[in-house]
């Protein structure tokens, strides 16, 4: 009996060695737990037979029964162990791996989901480029609740992975669908990616191979078609029909976008054994995030009759841009100001009358500017009707502007022209929002900003007008810096005594940013003034009001002569902010001020965006 006990534990240690030599941690744990449970069961059987023999109080009979029962228990346990180890469950476990990778029901997976999928690729020797090529590729089996949406997405990912392993085989031929025009964001993406066209075609082929029940690419065009076919808007699932199908279209487009990006990642990282996971790789390609942020291009195709049909309302700039600096009486425009001792000016969006007043002010006998560069920074539609500036807004959120994600300012100007023509053609009373009330107006005249400046260029030949749309409440893109610098360089080359005028909707955020850029440019062109040694510290947390944030100081240490660069930017910020004290807006100080106001709730968008803008 004791020898049987030793045999049972020997069997356990044999199972231990087998399980530790297996490739899967889950398989090792399964073998160990089963071996331990069976060995303990055997010991319990021996103890049970011993108790039976003692209860009979018959020595010879009990000894015989003890031995026979122990022996039978041992063989029964051994047979059970072998039958379980040879069962389909354990044979399947020896040659397969099981993972659970939760994916969203709609839209693209999160970066963490892609990272988890990459981890599976790393841990699977049969999915490595160093695998034994004489052996067939493994089968990839995916499942979700109904086997359609998430399963289809995972099958496409698996197909892309296997395509990178089938180096010597021709991909299976699929029936080519009718070619459809690419979305602008997809076209931009493949233009930026190395071998982008090939990367996209591989994704298209994988989608076609896995499209028996659901086609991700066709879903994009179907949602777009439904969105464009909407007539009268109505409520559906708690939102308007337009918002519902716009959300669905963007989700399907985002999923297709991420599949292309992930395939580009596979092209680069498969040969490197996935040295970087997907999220790290994306951080090294930040332009991808900017494309994602500009994915909603629906405003480029928004019909101009949304205003005349009442789906949108025209809101006057008096309602949106209060005259905090009290300059309307003198200059006819709100928040007009100048950087001290510099030819740099800023204001809100002027009317035709205000534009003439500003040009007269700049070209009078006192200032004598013969060349003026006027830069309009608005990314939303602007229209002058009956001598007032209006911009279209959604009736439910009139305080939120509607940006037009245009890559070329002429796109915005064409939309403004179409809106003006539609308003004049309709010749109907339209609801507009003024300073304190709503009114009904019929517009006898409509002018775009472009048309206003064309009129004044006839009488002011030195006037140069340029539209460089900037996103509100965030840092300009690198291309925006290039355009601003190029426009100023051309003007300064023409006349070093030129004036620079900037305007946005209210003359505050974007105008301030452009004025700081202009001040730095003029100083580099004409020479920097002497900086005083005194530092202005007006609020607590002095180092933060001076912009000495951790990320800023890291940047300062990385840049050549970084402390001097920061000091010059701070001087430009202080110079511009001197002109707008009543507005309580200092680009550097607003970072810590906003953070301190809401630090117990969340990191606010204004504060974080101001920090990014300051770093730029």
98: how many CB neighbours lie within 10 A of its CB?
10
- The least confident of 2-11, 225-234, 315-324, 479-488 is 2-11
User: Do 596 and 447 fall into the same domain?
Assistant: no
Q: What is the pLDDT of residue 24?
A: 44
b/e burial code for range 272-301 (CB count within 10 A of at least 16 → b): eebeebbeebbeeeeebeebbebbbbebee
Q: What is the pLDDT of residue 57?
A: 47
User: Do 344 and 242 fall into the same domain?
Assistant: no
Task: Please check whether residue 102 lies inside any domain of the structure.
Answer: no
Q: Quick check: 49 pLDDT over 80? A: no
DSSP tally for the chain: helices H, then strands E: 25, 13
Where in the sequence is the domain holding 160, given as residue range(s)? 111-296
**Could you tell me the maximum CA-CA distance found in the chain, to the nearest angstrom?**
132
User: Do 449 and 554 fall into the same domain?
Assistant: no
Q: Is 342 in contact with 435 (CB distance < 8 Å)?
A: no
Residue with more model confidence, 302 or 349: 349
pLDDT in tens, 531-571: 765 555 555 566 777 888 889 999 999 999 999 999 999 99
Q: How many domains does the chain have?
A: 4
Q: What is the pLDDT of residue 59?
A: 45
Q: What is the pLDDT of residue 23?
A: 41
- The least confident of 129-138, 255-264, 363-372, 379-388 is 129-138
Angle subtended by helix axes 149-165 and 241-269, to nearest 10: 20
Task: Please check whether residue 127 lies inside any domain of the structure.
Answer: yes
- The least confident of 70-79, 83-92, 252-261 is 83-92
User: Do 262 and 326 fall into the same domain?
Assistant: no
At 86 the three-state DSSP class reads coil
User: Do 57 and 142 fall into the same domain?
Assistant: no
User: Do 206 and 137 fall into the same domain?
Assistant: yes
Q: Is 223 in contact with 245 (CB distance < 8 Å)?
A: yes
Which of 95, 124, 140 finishes a domain? 95
Instruction: For Cα atoms 304, 289, 379, give the angle at the middle one, nearest 5 degrees.
Output: 30
**Average pLDDT along the chain:** 81
Q: Quick check: 418 pLDDT over 90? A: yes
Q: Is 11 in contact with 79 (CB distance < 8 Å)?
A: no
Distance, in Å, from the CA atom of 79 to the CA atom of 600, rounded to the nearest integer, reads 65
Read off the DSSP letter of residue 268: H
Task: Please check whether residue 104 lies inside any domain of the structure.
Answer: no
User: Do 431 and 292 fall into the same domain?
Assistant: no
pLDDT in tens, 200-242: 999 999 999 998 888 888 988 888 888 877 766 666 666 677 7
Q: What is the pLDDT of residue 98?
A: 84
User: Do 59 and 25 fall into the same domain?
Assistant: yes
User: Do 498 and 359 fall into the same domain?
Assistant: yes
Which of 273, 296, 319 finishes a domain? 296
| CB neighbour list of residue 352: distance below 8 Å, 6 or more residues apart | 384, 387, 447, 452, 455
Q: Is 578 in contact with 570 (CB distance < 8 Å)?
A: no
Task: Please check whether residue 59 lies inside any domain of the structure.
Answer: yes
Q: Is 334 in contact with 435 (CB distance < 8 Å)?
A: no
User: Do 569 and 448 fall into the same domain?
Assistant: no
Q: What string of DSSP letters covers 345-376?
A: EEES---HHHHHHHHHHHTSTTT--S-EEEEE
- In this structure, what CATH number is given to the domain that contains residue 338? 3.90.190.10
**H or E element in which residue 440 lies:** strand 438-441
Q: Quick check: 28 pLDDT over 60? A: no
Read off the pLDDT of each residue in 420-447 and give the average, rounded to a whole number.
87
CA–chain centroid gap for 61, Å, is 81
Task: Please check whether residue 416 lies inside any domain of the structure.
Answer: yes
Q: What is the pLDDT of residue 12?
A: 55
Task: Please check whether residue 100 lies inside any domain of the structure.
Answer: no
Q: Quick check: 606 pLDDT over 60? A: no
Task: Please check whether residue 303 lies inside any domain of the structure.
Answer: no
Read off the pLDDT of each residue in 574-603 and give the average, rounded to a whole number.
74
DSSP bridge partners of 433: 315, 438
Q: Quick check: 368 pLDDT over 60? A: yes
User: Do 66 and 126 fall into the same domain?
Assistant: no
Q: Strand 235-236 vs strand 446-447: parallel, antiparallel, or unpaired? A: unpaired
User: Do 11 and 141 fall into the same domain?
Assistant: no
Q: Residue 256: pLDDT band by 50, 70, 90 thresholds?
A: very high
349: how many CB neighbours lie within 10 A of its CB?
27
Residue with more model confidence, 184 or 70: 184
Distance, in Å, from the CA atom of 431 to the CA atom of 399, rounded to the nearest integer, reads 16
Q: Residue 40: pLDDT band by 50, 70, 90 thresholds?
A: low
Which of 261, 296, 331 finishes a domain? 296
Task: Please check whether residue 477 lies inside any domain of the structure.
Answer: no
pLDDT in tens, 275-318: 899 999 999 998 899 888 888 877 888 888 888 888 889 999 88
């Amino acid at each position: 009996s004791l020898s049987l006990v030793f045999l049972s534990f020997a069997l356990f240690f044999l199972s231990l060695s087998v399980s530790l030599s297996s490739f899967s941690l889950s398989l090792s744990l399964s073998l160990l737990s089963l071996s331990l449970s069976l060995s303990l069961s055997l010991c319990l059987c021996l103890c049970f037979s011993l108790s039976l023999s003692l209860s009979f109080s018959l020595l010879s009979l009990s000894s015989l029964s003890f031995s026979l029962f122990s022996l039978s228990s041992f063989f029964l346990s051994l047979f059970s162990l072998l039958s379980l180890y040879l069962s389909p469950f354990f044979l399947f476990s020896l040659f397969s791996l099981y993972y659970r990778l939760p994916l969203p029901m709609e839209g693209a997976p999160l970066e963490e989901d892609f990272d988890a999928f990459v981890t599976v690729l790393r841990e699977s020797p049969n999915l490595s480029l160093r695998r034994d090529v004489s052996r067939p590729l493994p089968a990839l089996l995916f499942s979700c609740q109904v086997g359609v949406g998430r399963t289809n997405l995972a099958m496409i990912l698996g197909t892309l992975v296997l395509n990178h392993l089938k180096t010597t085989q021709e991909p299976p031929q699929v029936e080519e669908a009718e070619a459809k025009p690419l979305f602008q964001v997809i076209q931009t993406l493949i233009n930026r990616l190395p071998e982008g066209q090939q990367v996209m075609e591989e994704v298209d082929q994988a989608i076609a191979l896995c499209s028996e029940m659901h086609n991700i690419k066709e879903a994009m065009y179907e949602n777009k078609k439904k969105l464009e076919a909407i007539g009268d808007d109505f409520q559906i699932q708690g939102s308007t029909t337009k918002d519902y199908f716009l959300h669905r279209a963007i989700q399907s487009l985002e999923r297709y976008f991420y599949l292309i990006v992930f395939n580009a990642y596979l092209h680069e990282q498969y040969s490197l054994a996935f040295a970087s996971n997907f999220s790290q790789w994306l951080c090294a390609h930040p332009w991808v995030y900017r494309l994602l942020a500009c994915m909603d291009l629906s405003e480029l195709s928004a019909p101009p009759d949304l205003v005349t049909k009442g789906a949108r309302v025209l809101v006057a700039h008096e309602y949106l841009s209060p005259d905090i600096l009290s300059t309307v009486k003198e200059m006819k425009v709100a928040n007009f100001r100048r950087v001290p001792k510099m030819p740099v000016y800023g204001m809100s969006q002027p009317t035709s009358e205000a534009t003439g007043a500003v040009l007269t002010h700049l070209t009078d006998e006192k200032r004598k500017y013969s060349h003026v560069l006027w830069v309009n920074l608005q990314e939303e539609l602007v229209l002058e009707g009956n001598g007032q500036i209006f911009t279209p807004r959604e009736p439910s959120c009139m305080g939120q502007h509607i940006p037009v994600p245009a890559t070329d300012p002429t796109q915005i100007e064409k939309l403004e022209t179409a809106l003006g023509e539609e308003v004049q053609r309709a010749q109907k009373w339209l609801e507009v929002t003024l300073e304190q009330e709503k009114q009904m107006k019929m517009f006898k005249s409509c002018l775009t900003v472009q048309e206003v400046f064309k009129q004044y260029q006839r009488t002011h030949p030195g006037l140069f007008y340029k539209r460089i749309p900037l996103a509100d409440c965030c840092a300009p893109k690198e291309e925006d810096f290039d355009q601003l610098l190029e426009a100023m360089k051309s003007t300064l080359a023409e006349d070093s005594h030129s004036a620079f005028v900037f305007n946005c909707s209210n003359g505050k955020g974007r105008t301030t940013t452009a004025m700081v850029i202009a001040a730095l440019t003029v100083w580099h062109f004409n020479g920097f003034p002497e900086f005083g040694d005194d530092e202005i510290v007006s609020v607590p947390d002095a180092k933060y009001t001076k912009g000495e944030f951790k990320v800023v100081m890291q940047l300062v240490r990385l840049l050549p002569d970084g402390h001097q660069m920061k000091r010059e930017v701070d001087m430009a910020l202080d110079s511009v902010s001197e002109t707008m004290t009543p507005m309580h807006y200092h680009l550097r100080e607003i970072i810590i001020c906003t953070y301190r106001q809401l630090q117990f709730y969340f990191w606010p968008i204004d504060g974080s965006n101001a920090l990014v803008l300051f770093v730029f």
